[in-house]
């Protein structure tokens, strides 16, 4: 998949772990930002992306921002961005 950076804003719980495991199993590189330990990540989560929940997955340079994780939805978004 060629769409630039992939950032995962997360807190260590089941849905975030599922996203991390999925990316690792598909050899998709990503930047891990733990909102519990990184105040800048928390600011991005709540202010920039206006979310109170995790995970938030940012594809590229904010080309696509996904709240929550679903493998099918992620694949669809990645394919759409790849076309552009």
pTM above 0.95, yes or no: no
Return the pLDDT at 70. 94
3-class DSSP assignment, residue 50: coil
pLDDT given at position 3? 55
> Which residues in the chain land under pLDDT 70?
1-4, 84
Q: What is the per-residue pLDDT for 15? A: 81
Domains, the chain: 6-83 (3.40.30.10)
């Amino acid at each position: 998949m060629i769409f630039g950076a992939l950032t995962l804003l997360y807190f260590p719980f089941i849905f975030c772990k599922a996203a991390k495991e999925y990316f690792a199993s598909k050899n998709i590189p990503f930047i891990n930002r733990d909102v519990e330990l990184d105040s800048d990540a928390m600011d991005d989560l709540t202010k920039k992306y206006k979310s109170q929940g995790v995970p938030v997955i940012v594809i590229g340079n904010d080309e696509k921002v996904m709240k929550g994780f679903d493998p099918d939805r992620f694949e669809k978004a990645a394919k759409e961005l790849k076309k552009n």
